[in-house]
Homo-oligomer: A and B are copies of this chain.
Amino acid sequence: VTQTLDPIGAWRALLLAHSRAVRAIEQELLEADVISLAWYDVLLELNAAPDRELRMQDLALRAVLSRTRVSRVVTELETNELVMRVADPNDGRATLARITAAGRAALRKAAPFYLRGIDQHFNQYLTVTQQEAITNGLQRVINAHNADLDPRR
């Protein structure tokens, strides 16, 4: 029997799964008094970057945040001394966000809750094959968008 593929099946599944899982994980982090997904996301990218710093621009590209949103979140993190702003020595227009020691500590503290949440509310329900298909397939979607990303978002 030839099975016809629902043209919006994958899309709707993405929307719903995202909504449900994010909500559940955020809720759990809040109850455990752990930093939010947005903060975690930013700290994670900064920590993984060379010299543990990124231009605001590049941070927005890697993180799940718009460029203006990155400014706000970095300001919040700066207020809490988890991140510091540094002038870019190579380009006076640019600002670098750099994770602090306290930021790395916050990241380490949050990590187990975060990993547990992802597993409990997401990974647990996926086979290894499905996880791989999701990672590889969606990475292509991400690459395409990052490539022809309108300079301003």
Q: A20 contacts B145, CB within 8 Å? A: yes
Q: Are B123 and A11 in contact (CB under 8 A)?
A: yes
A138 within 8 A of B: yes
Contact among B8, B15, B139 for A13, CB-based, below 8 A = B139
A16-B64, A64-B15 known; A10+B140 contact, CB < 8 A: no
Interface of A is mostly: helix
B142 touches A8 (CB 8 A): no
Asked if A133 and B135 make an inter-chain contact with CB atoms under 8 angstroms apart, the answer reads no
Tell me if B119 and A137 are in contact (CB < 8 A): no
Q: How many residues of A contact B (CB 8 A)?
A: 51
Q: Is the CB of A131 within 8 A of B18?
A: no
Q: What sequence of 0s and 1s flags, for each residue 125-138 of chain A, a beta carbon within 8 Å of any chain B beta carbon?
A: 11111111111111
Given A10-B138, A11-B123, A17-B138; 9 other pairs, CB 8 A cutoff: A11-B21, A11-B118, A13-B134, A17-B139, A19-B64, A21-B141, A121-B145, A126-B140, A126-B141
